[in-house]
Each structure stands twice: as C-alpha cells, then as structure tokens.
C-alpha cells in the first residue's frame, strides 16, 4: 500500500471511528474539548506510524487504545491518580495485543451509551443553535472545520471560534456526560432531532450559495439519524425523523436538472426517485407508528412525505390527506412556516383561493417579513387564479429575498412567465 493509499485509509477510518473514540474519551476525562484533542493526538500518531507499519487489522481499536494512553498520561500529569485511573492503566498494560478479542469487547461494550451521551452533549440547549450544528458535525460527523465552514458558507475563522466557544461553554457549564432521564429527556431529545434536521435541510435546500442541494450534508444527517435510531429504538419521533429524511433524500437526484437548476416537486421525474430510500423511509415510519402514542411533528411530516412517495404521478397525490395532516401538524406545532405549507396543501386540495386566504393571513407575520417562500407561495396561488401581474410582483419579491442563486434564477424565470401571460408551473 502506497503512502497515499495509507492516508486515504486513515481518513476513512477517522470518519467512521472518530465519534466513538471521542465519546469513549469524554467518558474518561469528562471534557468533550479535551477528548477531541486526545483523539486528534491519536490520529497524528496514526499518520506518523501507519505509512511505515501498515494499517493495523483493527484500526479503530488502535486509535482508541492510543488515545486512551494519551488520556491516562494527561490524568497522571494532573496528579489525578485515583483508583479508576490505576485500573485503566493496568487494563491497558494487560491488553498489549490490539487484536485480542477482550480488547475489542472492551471498546465495543459501552460504545452505544457513549455515543448517545455525546449526541446529547453536542446538542445541549446551553449552546446556541448554530453552535450545536457545528459541534455535532465536528464530533459526530467527523468533518473538519474547513468542511463545515464550506458547507454552511461561513468563514473558517468564524466557524472555528464557534466550535471553540461551544466546547468552552460545555466545560464551564459542567454539562454531565449522561443521557437525561424522566421529563428532561423529551426536551433534550427535541434539541437533538432539531439539530439533525437542520443539517439535513441545509443539504436538501441550501439557504445560500450557488448550489440548490448539498447531498453530502443530507448524507451526514441521515447517518446521524440512523445512529440515533439504533441507540434510542423506543423513541417514535427518532424513527419519524429518519423516515422523513429517508423519503425526502430519495428525491435528491430529481430535484436538480442537467445544469443544476431546481426542479420543483410536481415537475420531477419520479422514475429518478430512489426506491430503496423510499422503502427504508416507509419502514421507519411503520416503526414510529407501531410504537404507539400521539403522533409527533416529525412522524406527521414523514406521513406527508409518504403521501408524495406513494403517488406514482403528481396527479395521483392525495392532497386532501396531506391537508388534513398539515391541519394536525398546525395544531400540534403551530408556526407561521407550518401554516404556509398548509396553505400550499389546501390550495392543491381545495382550490387556489382557499390556499391564498391562508397565505394572505400571514402577510403581517413579523417572522416571515424576509422569508422568500411567502411571496413564492402567494405568487403561485395568484398565478393559478389568473392574477398574473400580482403573481409576477410576488415572484420578483421572492427573488430579491432569497440568498440562493439557483432559487433566485427560478423565481425570476417564473416572474417572466407571468409577464408573458402564461401561468408558471405549480409549486409544492
């Protein structure tokens, strides 16, 4: 194996194993920032040694053991030689051969609990939302600071400071390395799910930049969601979120045209939808429903996505059921954005006038003053009613508000179509 191949293998191993290693180290040292530093030390050791010795049979175990030795050295330097650290030191002295089964078991035994704890730390409400996203991608997604900054179009120094502040905040707040229990679990789980879905949505419909979709971010969010579903199998909303992301991700190839231009849902070639992801999404939705209880917001949204996935053509879409599901979602989680989506569904199910009435009720909503999708939806509904001049003005306003270049071009094209007297394609 060449040095280039070895470095490629190290990079791949790091992406897979880094979260597990950082989680295990955080359990030892009680500081997620220090745990990441120790894990990075192990990575550097691998970059130095593996090109000469070759990739070990169990590279994850090698990295974990090396990082644990760094942790024990740190603890000893800090004169924290209590019984636990002595026992850890003796354990490592006994387990010299990295391929021994008992070492593998020692590494794998607590990993589920450790990963779950790490997810809850990264998404702790003590952190601002953007910091939760950055830290989650860094520690659980295995992405570099540069990769995260590039994905979210943030300067690298800004993103780096965000991560540094997040780790310092967690340390100063003494956030415990544990999964919350009882009534605290629901609130904390909601934060975790929100962060994962924010990552997914930025990949599914980029808020800014030249690309409308960023599939790599969707893949990262899906991977995190699937991990969480394995670690928390009895939480219906976890499966609901996985179902929602699987089904939405199935459309990624059909969401862009040959030149990267956006293709709206009703105009997509459904033969390009990924049927494997749809099946996985429907199975996850079944798991969420089988767990019983009231449907949560992610499960309701997954049920809406399933309606689209199960329609062989756009004309077969059960819009009345989708409108009813949005009614339920609006009652459970009232928000202007949910109401705007309900306007689209009602407009498709019961006519553009009914949808426009809902959209018009949102015109004075402060949180939507600069939200480009409000004029985009109104433009679509107005165009269907033949009010083309008003529709053109709304599409132009939408174009002026969006920060995504592809979406701006789409809105301007639709405005031009209205000016030409031809109704634009329907939006959903």
25 and 68 in contact (C-beta within 8 Å)? yes
What pLDDT, on the 0 to 100 scale, is given for residue 86?
58
Q: What is the mean pLDDT of each run of 10 residues along the chain (428 residues)?
A: 75 84 89 91 89 86 90 74 55 46 40 80 91 90 84 88 94 88 82 92 84 88 92 94 98 93 93 97 98 94 98 96 98 95 97 98 94 96 96 96 93 89 46
What pLDDT, on the 0 to 100 scale, is given for residue 79?
52
The dotted CATH code for 318-428 is 1.25.40.10
- Going from N- to C-terminal start, the domains of the chain cover 3-110, 180-315, 318-428
What pLDDT, on the 0 to 100 scale, is given for residue 231?
86
pTM of the model: 0.80
């Amino acid at each position: 194996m060449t040095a280039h191949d070895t470095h490629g293998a190290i990079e791949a191993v790091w992406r897979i194993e880094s979260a597990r290693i950082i989680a295990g180290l955080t359990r030892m040292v009680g500081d997620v920032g220090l745990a990441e530093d120790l894990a990075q030390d192990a990575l550097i050791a691998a970059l130095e040694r593996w090109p000469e010795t070759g990739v070990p049979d169990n590279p994850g175990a090698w990295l974990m053991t090396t990082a644990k030795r760094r942790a024990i050295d740190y603890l000893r330097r800090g004169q924290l030689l209590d019984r636990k650290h002595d026992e850890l030191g003796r354990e490592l002295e006994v387990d010299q051969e990295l391929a021994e089964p008992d070492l593998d078991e020692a590494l794998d035994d607590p990993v589920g609990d450790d990963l779950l704890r790490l997810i809850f730390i990264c998404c702790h409400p003590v952190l601002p939302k953007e910091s939760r996203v950055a830290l989650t991608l860094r520690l659980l997604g295995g992405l570099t600071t540069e990769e995260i900054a590039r994905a979210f179009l943030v300067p690298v120094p800004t993103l780096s400071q965000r991560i540094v502040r997040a780790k310092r905040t967690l340390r100063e707040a003494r956030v415990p390395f544990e999964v919350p229990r009882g009534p605290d679990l629901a609130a904390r789980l909601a934060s975790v799910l929100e962060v994962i879905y924010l990552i997914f949505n930025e990949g599914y419909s980029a808020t800014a930049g030249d690309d409308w979709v960023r599939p790599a971010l969707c893949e990262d969010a899906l991977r995190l969601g699937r991990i969480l579903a394995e670690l928390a199998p009895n939480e219906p909303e976890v499966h609901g979120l996985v179902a929602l992301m699987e089904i939405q991700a199935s459309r990624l190839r059909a969401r862009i045209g040959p030149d990267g231009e956006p293709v709206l849902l009703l105009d997509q070639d459904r033969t390009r939808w990924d049927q494997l992801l749809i099946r996985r999404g429907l199975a996850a939705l079944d798991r969420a429903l089988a767990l019983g209880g009231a449907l949560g917001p992610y499960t309701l949204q997954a049920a809406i996505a399933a309606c689209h996935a199960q329609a062989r053509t756009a004309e077969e879409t059960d819009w009345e059921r989708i409108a009813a599901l949005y009614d339920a979602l609006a009652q459970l989680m009232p928000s202007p954005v949910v109401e705007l989506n309900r306007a689209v569904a009602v407009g498709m199910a019961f006519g553009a006038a009914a949808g426009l009435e809902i959209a018009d009720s949102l015109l004075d909503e402060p949180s939507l003053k600069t939200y480009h999708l409000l004029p985009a939806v109104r433009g679509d509904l107005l165009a269907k009613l033949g009010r083309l001049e008003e529709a053109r003005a709304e599409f132009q306003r939408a174009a002026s508000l969006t920060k995504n270049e592809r979406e701006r071009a789409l809105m301007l094209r639709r405005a031009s179509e209205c000016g030409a007297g031809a109704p634009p394609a329907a939006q959903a």
